[in-house]
Amino acid sequence: MALRACPSPPALRHDLLALCQPGADEIHRAGVAGQQWARLAAQGVDELLQ
């Protein structure tokens, strides 16, 4: 089994942590952060498959 660690960009980490507090447009911000995380995860999977 292969393992790959992808460090998360500071902006994504900030956005995810900000979702722990109530604020405006939480659903939209969660969707945007989820898409960013999915791209990062897909990049890691792609690198494992190379």
With a cut of 90, say whether residue 33 has pLDDT above it: yes
Domain count within the chain:
1
Confirm whether 42 is domain-assigned.
Answer: yes
Domain ranges, residue 19: 10-49
Confirm whether 24 is domain-assigned.
Answer: yes
Confirm whether 2 is domain-assigned.
Answer: no
Confirm whether 34 is domain-assigned.
Answer: yes
First-to-last C-alpha distance (Å) of the chain: 14
With a cut of 90, say whether residue 3 has pLDDT above it: no
Confirm whether 5 is domain-assigned.
Answer: no
Confirm whether 4 is domain-assigned.
Answer: no
Label residue 50 by pLDDT band (50, 70, 90).
confident
Confirm whether 26 is domain-assigned.
Answer: yes
- pLDDT of 7 reads 87
Confirm whether 17 is domain-assigned.
Answer: yes
The CA-based angle 28-33-26, given to 5 degrees, is 30
Whole-model pTM: value is: 0.79
- pLDDT of 22 reads 92
Tokens of 16: 């995810």
